[in-house]
Amino acid sequence: MKIVILMGSPNVNGSTSILADSFKRGAKEKGHSVETINACTLNVNLCTGCIACGYEGDCVQNDDNERIRRALLSCDMAVFATPLYYYGMSAQLKTVVDRFCAYNSSLNRRHLKSALLSVAWNADDWTFDALTAHYKTLVRYINFEDMGMVLGLGCGTPSMTSRSRYPNDAYKLGRNL
């Protein structure tokens, strides 16, 4: 299986990367190919809502979103990796998701598998409610097949994350695909 991790953390060596790297290691050990695309280092503009794409055509913006589009339309699984920023995904990852509209029907037809990897400083039982609701809605709308979520509560720093169970949970998620 070909897997694309959409990395939405601007902190290259942060807690989100720990989960993504653990997932990647598990998936590779199982024989899958894994590509990580760091949305934070790409030039992906905001969707302008111009609808020139007709919801299924070329976007008029000439930016790095085309790289993401090609990767997603040629893979079997998309993994959304993001720190929890004010109870949602990072702006960088949200910008990428918003640009899905230009190839929405193609994504729908792909029936991709998907997963969510996230970390948060908070450890309250409601911490991930808004993010998981958004992710589940995205899965339903784009016809993804959810393969699981790793939601790292109390992962405010890389050292906190490394000492937690969540890197192992991410590894197992990748390994069990």
N residues, the chain? 177
pLDDT recorded at residue 99: 94
Percent of the chain with pLDDT over 70: 100
Which of 41, 43, 111, 34 minimizes the C-alpha distance to 79?
34
Average pLDDT over residues 40-52: 93
The predicted model scores a pTM of 0.96
The answer on pLDDT for 56 being more than 90 is no
Q: Which has more confidence, 52 or 17?
A: 17
Q: What is the DSSP letter of 100?
A: G
Banded model confidence at residue 175, pLDDT cuts 50, 70, 90:
very high
pLDDT digits (tens, 9 = 90+) for 59-73: 889 899 999 999 999
39-42 long-range CB contacts below 8 Å, 24 or more apart?
39/6, 39/7, 39/8, 39/68, 39/90, 39/92, 39/93, 39/95, 39/96, 40/7, 40/8, 40/9, 40/10, 40/90, 40/92, 42/67, 42/68
The residue ranges of every structural domain in the chain are 2-175
Tell me which architecture the domain covering 2-175 has in CATH. 3-Layer(aba) Sandwich (3.40)
